[in-house]
Structure 1
């Protein structure tokens, strides 16, 4: 029975095993079960979270608050200045920025290699070698230079000449080039540039000649008063502070058929051969064989391409105008004292003598004209064409957008040398770039954008800078705070500075941080004070700041080491003797002055860039306007005594200027100084609202300071010089190079033109009222 039962159980169980797999082992069953478990698990988790939601959220919020409380309890006090930098991942403090820059330039000095590289070959406007060197040096420093090309109309020399004829026989002919000096290798070689003038008219003239002293309006008035026959003659004029283009213009207006401009060493002051000094290369006096090349375009009236006045020559196909009225229509050539001494003695005892004497051998400084049988032939053949020029620009973007500082220098020269003008400045620009590069390598980012510019074509007529300024006028006026210019940068021992007064507080501060000529313990400011009581002059013209200051209303400064007029070597300006041999023998043998200028320039830029509040001083500006207006007001009262309407308007303007100078600008500068302190004052985190208020005031103040100089830009410009649009600063109309303050009013008073006087009194009243409103708002 038992066996039977067992068999029965076995029989009953066997079919269960054979009829199929259990449910729980099938794939479908496993998937279904897994899905069910997942859904059930999610429901269970959700129910759990839902049941404990309130407790969970409280716990999370409490943790966050605990963390924030702990963090805020130990959060350091910070200033708006530090927050600016931290938000942009800039760890550099202002002091650290200055230190790194100073150390990088004090540790090394590459100025010599740059000067020699630039001046080893001929580099006229458009030269490709100087361009290549500049670009390569900037790239080696880690920058990405941008090239901007323009296409001005200008000239290159083909042939110039001067011959003296007596009784139709040629008795002298100038070589039109300096002698080769064995002591100065740069003065020799096949690349030497013959003497010529930029933008001089082509022509060949044979005529009698007359001596016209400096070619000033006063000199021509004297000659006319003396009854000297000037018409059709070749006018011989000596160089001076009067711009050469205006000399040719004055000569043309007085009937000249051609002009010869020569250098008289008498005007060099104490350091002359006549006073016992030896001439270059054996001594510091001028070599009398030098020819001063240069431009005669009327660029003190309107620089830039004379065929595109007021707009940029952006392509060879740019629409052009006639240059008539912006360049002379008679030929002119430069001449050395050595060669002119073969000619001028023929005028002795003919015509009238001038009071001013000179150093031309055998000449008694009579006017002439020459005898009928004594004539000169002037030959001037220039090739005029459209030529490509290239500006090189480097931009270092800043934290604050829409605010920039520009440093510029031109690299083109009239000769192989051109050491003083311009390549001492070219080397300084590259050294400034090296110092800024060192900062960038360490992670620095400037507060404001810094732009470096190497201009092309300055010598003919500030072509590169002017075309660039006209091309980007709107952008520059919106963004650029200031322009610093480097030209003829190292030619003597005396520090000289011309500047818009808005920068007058900044420059002495940067000079105080600049070690002078490698001498520990002596600053540039100390030297500046010893030499001239830290005098800051008025900006004139003749270099690249013109488009920025006079056309666009961008505060500018120009600084250099120049001859002191006492015992410094005479600068061999625009001659083949402006070479590194001259520089290293008589001016800066160790290139210490170059290093000083690089440090000073960079520090000036950094102090303007790294200060949250723009480092401008409005009262200095108002004070300069007040000072010069008093002079012109006195002259006006003398000229128009009894003219009640003019005197009434002039008196009202005087009161307005005085109010701005003594009250408005003084109060604005006081508030600005207080704001500078607030920006660097530390606050705890919970007083963040104070930083917001400071920031709002900071933006408003900086906007005012940027706009201030633009308010003096007029649409009409100066009379007969519409390109010169600034009503406070412009080139002196009669001298050219020198600067004039309130030039429109000054010129109107000198011309005794009541209509023009009233117009300028109205313009100044309107502009100064806007200044008053701006600073008071």
Structure 2
């Protein structure tokens, strides 16, 4: 049987330290033993015992202890009522989760409050879109809540449809003109409209959800002089089997015509009033008008209402790829309205400072209590939040219960476990960002890894995204646990999925934004990962259709998406194994060579589109390529010699070697952040500027190269200087990382 490098290292370390302990005990046996000497022996025994590979029985117990019925019970309670951030129900759930962690026997469990700026619709004055005829008669009014289709769908506290942080406003078109269809609202969509001679300045725009973050859609509209934006979910994206009642919820996971996707439009992370600083009691706060919030109204609607509006639009027919799935709708671009109609968009949103809680709970490590393995999931939802986030929250509670059982049976992790239930994630990762900002120095010194488990269950196929350092470790764990749909291992199930595309191994990617790993990964440089079960793209290449709508219910998950809760059970199992792997391994199970290899692949992607441009702007670009190669060589040498070096390692040296790997991504942080983006400091892996959801390699470089061929004069010269500066920074960072991997005594 093959022995992994981590296993071999653990055995060698244990053997060497065992000899040391044996020598101490033998020496002490020749004379009286003091309490101080007993403590020394106890410490050495803890340093040598219980490596992750040496007690496989604990891993089997983790898998066996995770109970699908427990998860279902917790999920039903979590989704019983809407729990928007800052509401009484959200506070109730925070206290409930704290009680669960305490009941599990955790050493600490605290409610951590932050006073943050949130956004709400007026519950007595809903946001509406209307159509009026030439006589001023209202012939159409949009819905502001979903039509209840199951007995538990209609809760009086369910939030009206709105887009958070979009302001209150009252805008309207002229009679017969002033409405433009902009497809998905991407940069390329606006460029196509300009090419076709369709102006959006002064118009109300209508876009379909998908492809990019909704905040980018609103920003693009605002930048081009539009006065309002309507966003709808198109059947082509959310109802591919048809829109008849038998084809949508409650009979399937596809979205009915009144489903409306709520969500934030804020382009930053954290409290909008305290960028870069925690929103604690004494924090300095910006004025609201300084917070860079959206300035034009925006409102989501369902596709039933969108059909009524689009049917009234004239102008030229949209390009082929712009036409969605609404039957008998031409998808005209506008701005003309067929007939003497006028469209009006009225929103009554308001912003308010509100308290929101994180729940932070710890299990103290037995050997390295100052090294943290963190797991987190947000708690707040736009409604019932069955998938997002409650499938992850139910998993978090069950994983905590399993840890508690193991603690009761005598196990205690080598390193400290930190369980985090984040508040106000949906508004812009607020709870996690404020906490990371408050504890940044401590986390950068002590955090081993952050595991995010937001939205455990939105489909059936396992998906891993994260720091390349973590890919090998999680892949190994998938071989140790059952599949969620069939016999065999999760790895076999995962691999069969990717064999469909003729891949020889599962595809794993780096992180975009959109969940609470962002402040850890992109701001603090802490290795982070996210595990989820997502849509089977062999059938439908779509996001989960009921996302952020009133149909994201317990019924949806229990009856349609995850009957029996086997998928969510699988999520808890893989998370529990990952926690123990990173918490109990003597040598941290990071695979260092994968990091520069992924960087090389990303840099090749940049070169594919911009190599000649880069060389013409900065002939020293080749030095960056050489620096990445040097880092690759240094990482491979570090990894290849580790087995030999560890034979002579004392515990202090082993700990220092672990620190070299767990802190290496901090070497890629730019103190001032990426160009124009201070909240994203990771220069190699961070979200795209033009789609906050998407991952990007060397994102600052891609941002600076975007549309560079359209620039002229001083604007072009300034951009080229910025590119030279950024390439220089990247080259220096690569060299610093390579030096960081040298022998510990070398600077």
TM-score class, shorter? 0.7 to 0.9
Decide which of 192, 205, 213 is 2:158's aligned counterpart.
192
Within 2, Cα distance between the matches of 1:192 and 1:253? 32
Within 2, Cα distance between the matches of 1:354 and 1:204? 33
Q: Note if contact 2:82-2:385 (Cα within 8 Å) is conserved in structure 1.
A: no
Kindly report which structure 2 residues correspond to 1:364-763, keeping only aligned pairs within 5 A, or say none: 364-371=330-337, 373-398=340-365, 399-415=367-383, 417-517=384-484, 522-532=488-498, 533-567=505-539, 570-640=544-614, 643=616, 646-647=618-619, 649-661=620-632, 663-674=633-644, 678=647, 690=648, 693-752=649-708, 753-763=719-729
1:151 aligns with 2:125: no
Q: Note if contact 1:491-1:571 (Cα within 8 Å) is conserved in structure 2.
A: no
Residue 285 of structure 1, CA deviation? 2.7
Within 2, Cα distance between the matches of 1:589 and 1:764? 48
Aligned residue for 1:419, secondary structure, equals coil
Decide which of 81, 84, 100 is 2:61's aligned counterpart.
100
Moved more, 553-562 or 199-208: 199-208
Instruction: Give CA-to-partner distance per residue, 1:228-272, whole Å, 9 cap, x none.
Output: 232221110111121000100000111111110000021248x42
Aligned residue for 2:260, secondary structure, equals coil
2:195 aligned residue: 225
1:272 aligned residue: 241
Within 1, Cα distance between the matches of 2:293 and 2:451? 28
Residue 543 of structure 1, CA deviation? 0.8
Residue 89 of structure 1, CA deviation? 11
Residue 674 of structure 1, CA deviation? 4.5
Within 1, Cα distance between the matches of 2:282 and 2:465? 36
Q: Which runs of 5+ in 1 are unaligned?
A: 1-63, 72-79, 679-689
Q: Note if contact 1:348-1:368 (Cα within 8 Å) is conserved in structure 2.
A: yes
Q: 1:276 to 1:657 in 2, by over 3 A?
A: farther
Measured on the aligned residues, the alpha-carbon RMSD in Å equals 2.7
Instruction: Give CA-to-partner distance per residue, 1:480-519, whole Å, 9 cap, x none.
Output: 1111111121011111111100111111111111222286
Q: Which runs of 5+ in 2 are unaligned?
A: 1-24, 33-40, 499-504, 709-718
Instruction: Give CA-to-partner distance per residue, 1:638-680, whole Å, 9 cap, x none.
Output: 3256x3x713x1112212212322x21111112334466x4xx
Q: 1:105 to 1:746 in 2, by over 3 A?
A: same
User: Number of residues paired by the alignment?
Assistant: 679
Within 2, Cα distance between the matches of 1:314 and 1:119? 30
Aligned residue for 2:563, secondary structure, equals coil
Aligned residue for 1:392, secondary structure, equals strand
Q: Note if contact 2:526-2:663 (Cα within 8 Å) is conserved in structure 1.
A: no
Q: Note if contact 1:306-1:323 (Cα within 8 Å) is conserved in structure 2.
A: no
Within 1, Cα distance between the matches of 2:191 and 2:64? 58
Within 2, Cα distance between the matches of 1:275 and 1:757? 53
Moved more, 317-326 or 507-516: 317-326
Q: 1:589 to 1:756 in 2, by over 3 A?
A: same
Within 2, Cα distance between the matches of 1:350 and 1:705? 57
Residue 326 of structure 1, CA deviation? 3.0
Q: Note if contact 2:238-2:545 (Cα within 8 Å) is conserved in structure 1.
A: no
Q: Note if contact 2:100-2:397 (Cα within 8 Å) is conserved in structure 1.
A: yes
Within 2, Cα distance between the matches of 1:332 and 1:512? 46
Residue 125 of structure 1, CA deviation? 0.1
2:301 aligned residue: 335
Residue 216 of structure 1, CA deviation? 0.9
Residue 629 of structure 1, CA deviation? 1.0
Q: 1:85 to 1:94 in 2, by over 3 A?
A: farther
Residue 316 of structure 1, CA deviation? 8.0
1:287 aligns with 2:256: yes
Within 2, Cα distance between the matches of 1:320 and 1:310? 12
Decide which of 122, 125, 135 is 2:98's aligned counterpart.
135
Aligned residue for 2:686, secondary structure, equals strand
Q: Note if contact 1:109-1:595 (Cα within 8 Å) is conserved in structure 2.
A: no
Residue 574 of structure 1, CA deviation? 0.6
**Larger radius of gyration, structure 1 or 2?**
1
Q: Note if contact 2:51-2:584 (Cα within 8 Å) is conserved in structure 1.
A: no
Aligned residue for 2:426, secondary structure, equals helix
Q: Note if contact 2:120-2:350 (Cα within 8 Å) is conserved in structure 1.
A: yes
Within 2, Cα distance between the matches of 1:553 and 1:538? 13
Within 2, Cα distance between the matches of 1:268 and 1:511? 30
